[in-house]
Structure 1
Amino acid sequence: MAAMTTEAQDSPLDAALDRIEQAVARLEAAVAAAPAPAEVAELRSRHRKLKERVTQEIQQLDLLLANLPQ
């Protein structure tokens, strides 16, 4: 927004418009910083594989613990 006089800056409407412009700027920055869809898909795939691996390893630990002498 262009520079305003002190009176205009004190206006509730101008204050609200300034907050809206700041919010839009934050939204635009967030969209620009968001990873590309291909990156998100790759991360989801890696997460799924890691989760499956951890589940398998925990199952193995459970079997080992179940077979320990009491």
Structure 2
Amino acid sequence: MSNERLILAIGRMERALSKLEQASVQPRGVTPPNDELSAKYDKLKAETRAVLADLDHLIAQSEAA
């Protein structure tokens, strides 16, 4: 298993989690327009899927080795 690829995947996951944390601490009463919120949600969901796919691939490679 490539340590560099694993580190990159973990970094992407940490950035996605950081975005989630930032979104959860938004001040009450401050709501972005629905279109903007939907776009952010879709982007975050896609990034999360990509990171999980990378991790699945790395795990599969490590098990095959």
List gaps (5 residues or longer) in structure 2.
1-26
How many residues are matched?
39
TM-score (norm 2): 0.51
**Larger Rg, first or second structure (1 or 2):** 1
For residues 44 and 57 of structure 1, the distance between their equivalents in structure 2, rounded to whole angstroms, comes to 20
Question: Match for residue 44 of structure 2?
Answer: 47
Q: Which has the higher contact order (CA 8 A, sep 6+)?
A: 2
User: Would you identify which runs of 4 or more consecutive aligned residues in structure 1 move more than 2 Å?
Assistant: none
TM-score (norm 1): 0.48
Considering only aligned residues, what root-mean-square deviation do their CA atoms show, in Å? 1.7
Question: Match for residue 31 of structure 2?
Answer: 34
For residues 39 and 50 of structure 1, the distance between their equivalents in structure 2, rounded to whole angstroms, comes to 17
List gaps (5 residues or longer) in structure 1.
1-28
